Amino acid sequence: MHAQSEVADAHPERDWITGGGWSMEAFEGGTPTSRLLDAVVPDRPVYLPNRDHHGAWVNSRALELAGITRDTPDPADGRIERDASGDPGGTLQEGAMQLVGRLDPPATAADRLAALLHAQRHLHSLGITAWQDALVGDFLGMDDPSGAYLTAARDGSLTARVVGALWWDRERGPEQIPELVEKRAALSHGRFRAGSVKLMLDGVAENGTAALLDPYLDRCGCATANHGKSFIDAGQLPKYVPELDALGFQCHFHALGDRAVRDALDAIEAARSANGPSDTRPHLAHLQVVHPDDVPRFARLGATANIQPLWAAHEPQMDELTIPFLGPERTAWQYPFGALLRAGATLAAGSDWPVSSPDPLQGIHVAVNRVAPDADGAPAFLPAERLSLTEALTAYTAGSAYVNHLDGTGQVRAGTPADLVVLDRDPFAGPPEAIARTRVALTFAGGQEVYAAHDA
């Protein structure tokens, strides 16, 4: 709150006050109110997405400009949080974010390029030489980074290798596929390829929008009527995915709840039946809740489990806003890294940055310990799902390289791309609890030094 007041005071010329990164557990029920923002910025609209980008906090002026009142219906893909009297409370979930976000002035092309190069420097400092950008396109008012990637790829300032996941417009159907084919051709240049399609199937568990097979519980442990949100019709998904697969697109699914995971696997199975084996390497990201019946299907279908290990730990958002509303059985199905690996699945690991830290060493620490890096002495979260250090490192190197069709990357041997990282210590030499203390000393991308700790 103090930071927003400082920004507003320091920039009286700004029509909007924007920022973000707040955590749901900081507010009762995970839903802050417009009144809190009105107290520090009453005269201009404020728009603050939370740290997972599945909700936004706004003030009364923003609600007024967007025309949001007690009579405004919830959009099909979102929810306007309301107070006890039915008036908008100040938190907008999922698709409801766009009611205000669409009014926020966009960044300039120069701003987007500068942001990309700043982000690249940061990722190189963490030993990251390649990544998949999970959102290339227009979504909830966010700036489309595709132009910045293309500029950087053409002028040589893109030193990482990047796969862009083209956004599937969930309000449209297969008529958009020819446009995706055109975008793939137009945007693929040098170190940037736009060969993936991102299909966001559901939301997140902590705000009740992850798609579940059985309903969420209330605070008393009783079943509610809420099964979460399915942003793409599950009946149509097995029609879209085979067509994308036949055109050589990789399908990148946001699948967080067990119903979304099953829908994605069903769609991949439909593609396998229609097209036979392919090298499109589909992957399911996040996998917070996976029904045990679906764990063996990953290996059988050749679907990569794209995991975000940093989330698999006890922390307030998990303990206060997720576990109580899932119940004991589904809580035990969360982030089943070990079960997936034992069932033969290929694991790829990433961060979903800027939702959480992109630091692979922090994620590896949690994958191995199932305890947050800064939570010494805390209980492990579902310790049977731990990975060994070798398994976690493999997921972050060879596994992620596999998903991005960067064959040979993630291995140190003659003839492979010289994407190399030098650490300041041997993480195998110390106790597992010390993994997160490891730091990157040098990063090479394609044989070029792109980061040195002594120069930072």
Residue 14 has pLDDT above 80, yes or no: no
**Cβ(266)–Cβ(297) below 8 Å:** no
User: Hey, where are the domains in the chain?
Assistant: 2-101, 109-403, 420-455
Q: What percent of the chain has pLDDT over 90?
A: 69
**How many angstroms separate the CA atoms of 102 and 21, rounded?**
19
Q: Identify the residue with better confidence: 96 or 438.
A: 438
Overall average pLDDT of the 285-305 stretch: 98
Position 381 pLDDT exceeds 70: yes
pLDDT surpasses 60 at 355: yes
Question: CA 399, CA 397: separation in Å to the nearest integer?
Answer: 6
pTM comes to 0.86
Q: What digits encode the pLDDT tens for the residues 302-353?
A: 999 999 999 999 999 899 999 999 999 999 999 999 999 999 999 999 999 9
Return mean pLDDT, the chain: 92
| Rounded mean pLDDT, 269-297 | 98
Where are any strands of DSSP class E within 229-282? 250-255
| pLDDT given for residue 253 in this prediction | 98
- pLDDT tens across 130-159, in order? 999 999 997 766 789 999 999 999 999 999
**Segment 273-293 mean pLDDT:** 97
441: CB partners within 8 A, 6+ apart: 422, 423, 424, 452, 453
Cβ-contact 325, 216 below 8 angstroms: yes
Residue environment code for 4-25, b if the CB has 16+ CB neighbours within 10 A, otherwise e: beebbeeeeeeebbbeeebebe
CA distance 233 to 178: 20
Q: CA 248, CA 76: separation in Å to the nearest integer?
A: 31
**Cα(295)–Cα(389) distance, rounded to whole angstroms?**
22
Cα 45 from Cα 38, distance rounded (Å): 9
Q: What mean pLDDT do residues 364-370 have? A: 98
Q: How close are the terminal C-alpha atoms of the chain, in Å?
A: 31
Supply the CATH classification number for the domain 2-101: 3.10.310.70
The highest-confidence range among 62-76, 98-112, 244-258, by mean pLDDT, is 244-258
Residue 25: band (very low, low, confident or very high) from pLDDT cuts 50, 70, 90: confident
Q: Which CATH number fits domain 109-403: 3.40.50.720, 3.50.50.60, 3.20.20.140, 3.40.228.10?
A: 3.20.20.140
Closest among 71, 51, 60 to 100, alpha carbons compared? 60
Instruction: Tell me the pLDDT band of 32, cut-offs 50, 70 and 90.
Output: confident
Cα Rg, the chain, nearest whole Å: 22
Q: Is 80 exceeded by the pLDDT of residue 2?
A: no
Bridge partners (DSSP) listed for residue 440? 423
Does 109-403 match 2-101 at the fold level? no
Classify strands 440-445 and 420-423 as parallel, antiparallel or unpaired: antiparallel
- What single letter denotes the amino acid at residue 18? T
Residue 266 has pLDDT above 60, yes or no: yes
Q: How far is CA 263 from CA 63, 166, 203, in A?
A: 35, 20, 14
Residues 6+ apart with CB under 8 A from 302: 268, 272, 277, 281, 282
> Phi first, then psi: what are they for 426, rounded to 5°?
-90, 110
Locate the DSSP E strands across 237-337: 250-255, 283-286, 304-307
pLDDT above 60 for 3: no
The structure tokens listed for 108 are 């300039």
For residue 433, what is the DSSP state? G
- 78 pLDDT band (50/70/90 cuts)? confident
The arithmetic mean of pLDDT across residues 112-124, rounded, is 97
Question: Tens digits of per-residue pLDDT, 174-232?
Answer: 999 999 999 999 999 999 999 999 999 999 998 899 999 999 999 899 999 999 999 99
Q: Which residues fall within 8 angstroms of residue 55, CB to CB, at 6 or more apart?
A: 24, 30, 49, 91, 92, 93, 94, 97, 207
Q: Can you tell me the distance from the alpha carbon of 383 to that of 313, in angstroms, rounded to the nearest whole number?
A: 10
> What's the pLDDT band for 8 if we cut at 50, 70, 90?
low
- Residue 1's pLDDT is 52
Of residues 68 and 258, more confidently modeled: 258
Sign of torsion, CA 263 265 266 272? positive
